[in-house]
Amino acid sequence: MSPSRNFSIHSRFRWVAGAAATVVLLAGCAETVTELEPSAYTDAVTTSASSSAPTSQAVSTTPATSPSTAVPIAEIPAAAGITGEAGAALSQLATLPIKGRAPKTGYDRDLFGQAWSDDVSVAGGHNGCDTRNDILARDLADIVYKQGTRDCVVLSGTLNDTYTGTTIAFTQGQDTSAAVQIDHVVALSDAWQKGAQQLDAGARADFANDPRNLQAVDGPINQQKSDGDAATWLPPNRAYRCTYVARQVQVKAAYGLWVTQAEHDAMVRVLTSCGGSVHAAQPSASVAAPTTTTSAPAPQPAPIATTAAPQRVQPQPTVVETDPGTVYYKNCAAARAAGAAPLYAGEPGYRPKMDGDGDGVACE
């Protein structure tokens, strides 16, 4: 066994062992989360604010496993007088500045480094496997790997989707890969408008590839979310909303980002519905957002432990149909300039001619 392969195996073992050794985050949230669909939830927040098949031999497989619940959730520090993890999440939310959304001017996906780069300083970096396949390997069960990739390239598997609470079969290919996509829990565009402009290039690349901020999810649901924050989008699986919001709080705290007033209020609403103490939240006080970037030293991500996700229910998923022909990019450079790369098969703007290796992911 080569040193790099040995490192990859041990790295993944540590993730699984770490997740199994910690407690389930926000257990029991399913009974108390406000019964709102994403569209209805957006209206409520607004009111509150105003008042393919494998192409290569597949011989390396992993044993069938039970539905995976290991999700990279940062552990929230306890606060005096606050009980329960929802209350602790509110306490951490109180440390985040509340500011207006900065202009999106200048945003480019390339500013967060090469998509799914292994050349990063976060967990999984420099393990010889790209970030997308790292996350697929972490979040899928019954995995089949591509022969000759040292158990890196995932050809197929089963996703127990946290966003919809459904089970999805994944097969790599031009017409099938888009069924499972990797979501940035805090979207790159959202981060850019809330402080990431002030991070250096290395910190932004870490942010884009940090397993704590990544989740394999249902493709259409990921497209529905786009770059929405907690004020405009929540997972349709109500049982996961508390965990989802807590992850956003933790990632933003780790990278020194801020929240808008509407986003803050939405996070408070979700976390208090899980039993958190509302007095732990930061008072509502808007601060004007900067309109230009600064040259101040970039804040460095804080190391955070991981825990596991709560048990999931099985509601009906919300399906959003997309038509690749509704958006056209002349080439990958144009797609990157629009902040749309990488493009997955089935997404608006995807064309096979832009997918050089035919794996269903263009402009990687």
- Name the strands in the sheet holding 140-145, side by side, starting at the edge strand that comes first in the sequence: 60-61, 140-145, 154-160, 167-171
How high is the pLDDT of residue 299? Answer: 52
| Alpha-carbon dihedral 75, 257, 134, 13, rounded to 10 degrees | -20
More confident residue, 80 or 172: 172
CB atoms near residue 87 (< 10 Å):
23
Has residue 131 got a pLDDT over 60?
yes
| Whole-model pTM over 0.75 | no
Structure tokens at 86: 């929802």
Has residue 321 got a pLDDT over 70?
no
pLDDT band at 104 (very low <50, low <70, confident <90, very high): very high
CB 271 within 8 A of CB 234: no
Percentage above 70 pLDDT, the chain:
60
Residues 135-194 have pLDDT tens digits of: 999 999 999 999 999 999 999 999 999 999 999 999 999 999 999 999 999 999 999 999
More confident residue, 354 or 187: 187
How high is the pLDDT of residue 46? Answer: 35
Has residue 69 got a pLDDT over 70?
no
More confident residue, 331 or 286: 331
Residues 209-228 have pLDDT tens digits of: 999 999 999 999 999 999 99
> Cα–Cα distance between 175 and 177 in angstroms, integer?
6
How high is the pLDDT of residue 251? Answer: 96
Q: Which residue has the tokens 């607004």?
A: 46
Has residue 106 got a pLDDT over 90?
yes
How high is the pLDDT of residue 359? Answer: 67
Has residue 259 got a pLDDT over 70?
yes
pLDDT band at 85 (very low <50, low <70, confident <90, very high): low
CB 310 within 8 A of CB 29: yes
